[in-house]
Amino acid sequence: MWRGGRGAGEGGDDVARGARSHNLPRQEPWTTRGSFASLLILCVSRGKVPLHAAKMMVHELMKHMNRGEGDTELPIPVTSFRGVEKTQPNSNAKSDAEAIEAAIKTKGVDELKIIDVLTDRSNVQRRAIAQSYQQLYGKDMPSALKAALSGRLESVVLGLLKSPAEFDADELNWSMKGLGTDEETLIEILVSRSNAQLREIGKVYKAVNKVELEKDISSDTSGDFQKLLLALAKGNRDESSNIDEELVEQDARDLFAGGLQRKGTDVPKFISIFTSRSLPHLNRVFIVYKNFSEIDMEGTINKEVKGDLKDTFQALVKYIQNPPGFFADKLYESLKGGLKEKVLTRVMVSRCEIDMMDIRKQFKDKYGKSLYSFITAKTKGDYQKILLAMCGGDDL
């Protein structure tokens, strides 16, 4: 049976409910690909499943069309996460550019208009607005907005106008420039991006900074922490969804033998497995690992390694087991005490259109209050307004 995984959320549940409500047999035919697709179309047409969620489900279905007819079980789709839908099919880049210019020229600057336009468009649409702005007024829209705005609002707006790779590359560069290193930023980005994203980040980083990302990482870090970050930055992880149970068991044995079962830690073995295996594979490894060890993987890492290396391995475990939960924790940490503006802004900008709906659900489940209510309580002014718009709503 096809299973909605973490992030499939309400969409997957509604498909299952739809099957039951139509009195379809438990095993056949709704668990087969064709009937599943038909049922999905029905659920979308009746408003039970959001269109963007359905697209991701169909993408996963198509990826597995070459599986044998006797094998109708599909793996948990790790990509079925829900962002806040921002694409406006009737938007006009020229009109939006004119609205931005009018807002800039308004006495005192119309910040609310700028927020309304930019947060109600997708990343692709925002960059199209910037292109139209350049053509209309002969000047760079990010520069014009930078001159018109200030503080935290300026940081968010400029982040929204960058491509995802540009945003991540700038964040990584910021984390390593000047005195000291912001290890948290390095870890968060390198742990949570796909191979394609990491490679694109690397290209943008070199184009903007005239130096390889790996070279800056090497200059700013050292030891096993450096080796782990460099292995992640290469973006060579297996991204298949197939799980080889024999290899899972071997990896679980190797991690136990390379850690708790010996004096000292075989860090290269940990790095190799953690940076080369697929996320579904590693998720399974962490489960099987408990057959060999009384301590789970997080506990093992706490005992075996220290400092930034420990933080990176722990981040990997948390992200692999629950990507939206990983970012929900980041947001909570950024809001719970003194405001960590840089972390809050980075996560909101980078995840808004990817999995914000799932992050919101995880946040509410973990902390008992909605992300929206936390942002409302901990921020103010235009910074609050733009963050709430990106959040996409409350979860009562």
**pLDDT of 74-105, one tens digit each?**
333 344 567 665 656 667 999 999 999 999 99
**pLDDT of 263-292, one tens digit each?**
889 999 999 999 999 999 999 999 999 999
Strand ranges (E), the chain:
none
Domains in the chain, ordered, with CATH?
Answer: 1-80 (no CATH), 93-160 (1.10.220.10), 164-233 (1.10.220.10), 245-321 (1.10.220.10)
Which has the closest alpha carbon to 256: 198, 282, 295? 295
CA distance 320 to 326: 9
- pLDDT for residue 259 is more than 80: yes
- At 10 the pLDDT is 39
How does residue 49 score in pLDDT terms, banded at 50, 70 and 90? very low
What type of residue sits at position 270?
F
Report the predicted TM-score, pTM, of the whole model to 2 decimal places.
0.79
CA distance 53 to 8: 8
| Mean pLDDT confidence for 101-116 | 97
CB atoms inside a 10 Å sphere around CB 264? 8
- pLDDT for residue 8 is more than 90: no
Angle at 59 between CA 53 and CA 62, to 5 degrees: 140
Burial readout 103-136 (b: 16 or more C-beta within 10 A, e: otherwise): bbeeeebbbeebbbbbbebbbebbbbbbebbeee
- At 91 the pLDDT is 78
**pLDDT of 315-330, one tens digit each?**
999 999 999 999 999 9
**pLDDT over 90, % of the chain:** 74
Helices (H), 242-306: 245-257, 267-276, 279-289, 297-304
- At 196 the pLDDT is 98
CB atoms inside a 10 Å sphere around CB 287? 14
- pLDDT for residue 19 is more than 60: no
